[in-house]
Every structure is written in structure tokens, then in C-alpha cells.
Amino acid sequence: LLSLRQQNRTLQYKSRKFIWKQGIAGRLQCTMKGSPELHIHWFWNERELSDGEKYKISLKSGVATLEFLNLVVSDSGSYTCEVSNNAGTDSCSTVIYVKEPPSIKKELQTIETCEVSPSTAITTWMKDGSNLRESPKHKFTSDGKDRKLNIIDVQLSDTGEYTCIAKNAGKEVQCSAKLIVEGISQSHLNWKFLGSPRASAGSKEHRSCQAMTNMKL
């Protein structure tokens, strides 16, 4: 509560600190009393703010409002509401901390690698006997003789038998390995690869295993 009178000016403000989340809208309000005409100014770290795309500033029925349309971390700092009339000036301040919520920057994924010879062989991938097509879920890459299947955002439903098929000059060979997703939590995944040859198990979020090697046509 900011009270502004003709001669004596008093300042009362209940909260001195706010912690807000990035990406939301926020609002600061200052209630004041005083003889018309009242003029308000808002400051962030002593820099005056103006009404526009980022802030909305208003004064209605003795309540000065500073509205944040989309809070970001850089909005953290000291905010001051200054009110004045012909009798003088008064102000109140508070501090805002804008915190960024946790987010996953890179989804969990696993990679199966197939080495083929010759390097010109055409390869396709299957899961449980059905052809896989490249999609946001499955990414195919090749580097020389290496053919890789990237499984993005691994889920329990990704458990199954994966097969790499290599074709060249009318001939076809294939090799398979089984991927078992043992458990999913927010912190880790466990993998087991069963097949010939056997691949190692682990709990890293990103790995490459030679589940199928040296398929020659």
C-alpha cells in the first residue's frame, strides 16, 4: 500500500520479493492514495519502463499495474513504482526472480550399428518383421560401411527384434538383434541387447553398439 497525501507521504509494501516461472504472465500492483492528478512511472533496475509489446502499464481506481506479457529470466531484478502529484513524489520497490523450469534438451535415444560390405550395399531396417521407415522416431544414417538406426525418445514399446538387411547385386543377407527396454524413469534407461553377437548392457543415455557386424555379399 502506497499512501500519498498532500503534506505527509507514507510507504507500506507487504512483499519485497517474488519468484516467478519463465514463460508465464505476471503482474505487479501498487495501491495509492493522493490528490489528483497522480502520475506513475515504473522502473526496472532504475531504467524507466514504457507501455508496449512487453509491458502493459495502467492506473485505475488508485491501483497502478505493471503487467508482464511473457516473463523471461532476464526480467529478474528490482522493480520500482513511483507516484507523484503537485505535493511530491513517493515510491515502493520489490525484487523479482524469474526461474527457468527444467526441460529435456535431448531426448533419450539408442543406436544400433550394422557394418556391411561392400559399402555400396543398400540397407533396410525392420522391427519384429515389419519394415521401418525414416521418421522423427527412427533416423537412418550411413558412413562408409556403417549403417545406423537411431531410435529417438526410447519407450517400453521399442522393445523388439531389429533386423538389418543388406542387398547388393541381387543378393541379400541379414542380421538381427533384440532390444529390451527394461525400465524408463525420468533419470535413466537400461538396455539389454540379445543376439549374435551379443552387445553389452548399460545405462547411458546415448550409446552405439556393434550388434551386427561384417555382413558380406
With 0.95 as the threshold, say if the pTM is over it.
Answer: no
> Is there a single domain that holds both residue 37 and residue 15?
yes
Residue pair 28/81 in contact (Cβ under 8 Å)? The answer is: yes
Number of domains in the chain: 2
> Is there a single domain that holds both residue 72 and residue 46?
yes
Q: Using one digit for the tens of pLDDT, what is the confidence trace for 10-51?
A: 334 445 688 888 888 889 988 888 888 889 999 999 999 999
Does any domain span residue 71?
A: yes
> Is there a single domain that holds both residue 154 and residue 71?
no
- CATH number, residue 173: 2.60.40.10
Does any domain span residue 104?
A: no
Does any domain span residue 177?
A: yes
Q: Using one digit for the tens of pLDDT, what is the confidence trace for 108-151?
A: 456 667 777 777 788 889 999 999 999 999 999 888 878 888 88
> Is there a single domain that holds both residue 137 and residue 82?
no
> Is there a single domain that holds both residue 7 and residue 46?
yes
Does any domain span residue 171?
A: yes
Pairwise CA distance, residues 84 & 99, whole Å: 33
Residue pair 149/211 in contact (Cβ under 8 Å)? The answer is: no
Boundary (domain end) residue, out of 45, 74, 99: 99
Confidence of residue 103 (pLDDT cuts 50, 70, 90): low
pLDDT at 150: 87
Q: Which residue range is the domain that position 145 belongs to?
A: 109-216
What's the chain's length in residues? 217
Does any domain span residue 206?
A: yes
> Is there a single domain that holds both residue 89 and residue 120?
no
pLDDT at 79: 94
> Is there a single domain that holds both residue 119 and residue 206?
yes
3-state secondary structure the chain: CEEECCCCEEECCCCCEEEEECCCCEEEEEEEECCCCCEEEEEECCEECCCCCCEEEEEECCEEEEEECCCCHHHCEEEEEEEEECCEEEEEEEEEEEECCCCCCCCCEEEEEEEEECCCCEEEEEECCEECCCCCCEEEEEECCEEEEEEECCCHHHCEEEEEEEEECCEEEEEEEEEEEEEECCCCEEEEEEECCCEEEECCCCCEEEEEEEEEC
Burial track 77-94 (b if 16+ CB lie within 10 A, e otherwise): eebbbbbbbeeeebbbeb
- Count CA atoms within 13 Å of residue 17 on its CB side: 2
| Beta pairing class for 26-33 and 55-60 | unpaired
